[in-house]
Amino acid sequence: MAGFDVWNPIMNFVTILLLTFSLFLVITGAFTAYFGSGKSRKIGVGLLVGGLIVGVLWGWYTGPGPSPSVDLVGVVVQSIGVIVAAVVGAAIAIGLFLLAIMKS
């Protein structure tokens, strides 16, 4: 996994951006399609389909062809690791803050 550079503007950054965008479109679209009614249900289906299209097209564009332009699995794994590390660090900081406030 050496060589991962999130600030590589062409591939890694755009891959993270588009895959996160498509994932949240799929999640919000499914939520809206399931719980919505009438026009909002149609909008939810549109969001769901749009998210799937963006994710699949970007995965296909960068994906496992003869010479992949991005290590897609590596980028996703590294991104999840970065997010988990950020959440754990923030949780520890908030916990210490609350502990300090409660004890004073």
For the stretch 22-40, pLDDT in tens is: 999 999 999 999 998 899 9
Q: How is residue 83 written in tokens?
A: 């997010």
> Mean of the pLDDT values across residues 32-61?
91
What is the Rg, in whole angstroms, of the alpha carbon atoms belonging to the chain?
A: 19
pTM: 0.69
H helices present in 1-104, as ranges:
12-35, 39-62, 72-103
Do 72 and 59 contact (CB within 8 A), yes or no?
A: yes
Do 29 and 51 contact (CB within 8 A), yes or no?
A: yes
Do 79 and 43 contact (CB within 8 A), yes or no?
A: no
